[in-house]
Amino acid sequence: MSQNIVNARVTFRNSPIHVLEQFTIKDMDNAYDQFKKHSGLDECVIIQTCNRIELFGKSKYHDPNKIKKTWASLTGLEEEIFNENIEFVENKDAFHHLLKLTSGLDSMVLGEEQILGQIKNSITSARETKASGQHLNTLFDKAIRIGARIRNSSGIGKGGISVGSMAVKLAEENVDELKTKKTLLIGTGEVSTLVAKSLNRRGYSFDVTSRTISRSRMFCETMGGNPIKFEDILTRFDKYDVIFVATTAPYFLVTEEKITNAMKDKNKGIMILDLSNPRTVDEKVATIRGVKLMNLDQIAEIVEKNMNARQNKVKEVENIINEEVMILEASMKRLDAEPLVKEVFKNIESLREKELRKALHMLDEKDEKKIKIIDELTKAVVESIVSTPMNNIRKASEQEKSDLVNLATKLFDYKKQDAAD
């Protein structure tokens, strides 16, 4: 390949988060400017997330030391620290890595969706600031499309779910017409937030209670739900059909006695999902008629199984990536011949137009219909002569037959190669 695609990266795989953070690039516009000026790269794209800082670049000749030096000057880090943390790959390996990124295979949470959006944002801003050009734009557009396709066909992103969402899903599976049922969430912490988000997403209304009503109110302002006083709830569980409990209370908040009382006046069943560890719902509650209890261990086991389903897809995704890398590599190699092919087509077209004008002038032709026929005739002649050699040049570039590409460059008197690079 006459152009090289390089990837330099510091990620969670090699570096703990506190080290990784030091490599963060703060001023992106300045970074693009510096990389293009000093690192020998003439195109670049930076991907930066909480788990990785990655640079993709294009150049004819690149020097990893210049890349390190530029990155070091942007972060104020010593160059030595790069040696322990940075990874360099190029061309086929860089394509392979980018496809792993877009398909979610290199993510900390296998198959997670967020990275695809982050990569889309990276190439969009590189495009806007003209940090990227034809090679990286093509590479990223293709890699994003391939990544999305791999995700859809393999289902690698499916089944990833938080304990909060899983609890809501289990309630949906076990309670008929959940939308018509009264739901209570006990707790306003991290896990309760996940439950509330999931309830909201699915359009369920719910009450929220916490030891202090002000905390419940604050929680409901951002997470939705109706705040209810804690004291009112503990003796009125009969009002509810589904109860999510996620607190760090060191004793049972939901006791056998309270639920037995609640069930006395209730002609419907009740489902309780205890997400707390240690439990805050007494296990004996499960023995009361009409009560279905699920605890954190059971919910976490189902979450784990879902994640295992993703793990099982890894081999399948790797196989698709290996096939796609070859196709991607071929189209990137073809790209090398594009400036030459474009220039030849442009020159021939201007010659055709010039000769056409001359001929029409000599014929003194005014009839639009005839002019159109002559115009199309010349186009067809040019097309039939030029398209085969042009496709052969592209093919030669794809097969890295540089002799043939160089010969074509000479034959077509193509001089602008360096300017077009």
Active-site residue numbers?
50
- CA 400-405-411 angle, 5° bins: 170
User: Shortest gap between Cβ of 190 and ligand NAP (angstroms)?
Assistant: 4
Candidate segments 33-41, 247-255, 262-270, 336-344, binder of ligand NAP by CB under 6 A: 247-255
227 touching ligand NAP, by CB under 6 A: no
User: Shortest gap between Cβ of 93 and ligand NAP (angstroms)?
Assistant: 36
Measured from the CB atom, the residue of 112 and 318 that comes closer to ligand NAP is 112
Measured from the CB atom, the residue of 245 and 317 that comes closer to ligand NAP is 245
Window 329-348: contact mask with ligand NAP (x via CB under 6 A)? --------------------
Closest CA to 254 of 186, 196, 207, 163: 186
192 touching ligand NAP, by CB under 6 A: yes
Q: How many whole angstroms from its chain centre is CA 147?
A: 8
103 touching ligand NAP, by CB under 6 A: no
Give the strand pairing for 52-59 and 43-49. Answer: antiparallel
Q: Which of 124, 212, 235, 388 binds ligand NAP (CB under 6 A)?
A: 212
Candidate segments 23-31, 187-195, 235-243, 339-347, binder of ligand NAP by CB under 6 A: 187-195
Q: Which of 66, 92, 211, 284 binds ligand NAP (CB under 6 A)?
A: 211
Where helices occur in 28-133 by DSSP H, the ranges are: 28-38, 64-75, 79-85, 92-103, 114-128
SS3 track for 249-318: CCCCCECHHHHHHHHHCCCCCEEEEECCCCCCECHHHHHCCCEEEEEHHHHHHHHHHHHHHHHCCHHHHH
For residue 217 the two structure tokens come to 């109110």
220 touching ligand NAP, by CB under 6 A: no
Q: CB of 228 within 8 A of CB of 219? A: no
163 touching ligand NAP, by CB under 6 A: yes
210 touching ligand NAP, by CB under 6 A: yes
Candidate segments 20-28, 270-278, 286-294, 381-389, binder of ligand NAP by CB under 6 A: 270-278
User: Shortest gap between Cβ of 216 and ligand NAP (angstroms)?
Assistant: 8
215 touching ligand NAP, by CB under 6 A: yes
Q: Which of 122, 247, 397, 409 binds ligand NAP (CB under 6 A)?
A: 247
Rounded-to-integer distance, Cα 91 and Cα 332, Å: 9
Within 10 Å of residue 46's Cβ, how many Cβ atoms? 20
Where helices occur in 202-249 by DSSP H, the ranges are: 213-223, 230-234
Host H or E run for residue 334:
helix 314-363
249 touching ligand NAP, by CB under 6 A: yes
Answer positive or negative: Cα dihedral of 95, 96, 97, 102.
positive
248 touching ligand NAP, by CB under 6 A: yes
Q: How many Cα atoms are found within 13 Å in the side-chain-facing hemisphere of 125?
A: 15
What Rg value do the Cα atoms of the chain yield, rounded?
A: 32
Rounded-to-integer distance, Cα 420 and Cα 410, Å: 16
190 touching ligand NAP, by CB under 6 A: yes
246 touching ligand NAP, by CB under 6 A: yes
DSSP state letter for 47: E
Candidate segments 40-48, 60-68, 246-254, 346-354, binder of ligand NAP by CB under 6 A: 246-254
236 touching ligand NAP, by CB under 6 A: no
User: Shortest gap between Cβ of 166 and ligand NAP (angstroms)?
Assistant: 10
187 touching ligand NAP, by CB under 6 A: yes
Q: How many whole angstroms from its chain centre is CA 25?
A: 20
Candidate segments 105-113, 182-190, 307-315, 335-343, binder of ligand NAP by CB under 6 A: 182-190
Candidate segments 30-38, 172-180, 186-194, 400-408, binder of ligand NAP by CB under 6 A: 186-194
User: Shortest gap between Cβ of 271 and ligand NAP (angstroms)?
Assistant: 18
Host H or E run for residue 349:
helix 314-363
275 touching ligand NAP, by CB under 6 A: yes
Rule CB under 6 A: which residues touch ligand NAP? 163, 187-192, 210-212, 215, 246-249, 253, 275-277, 296
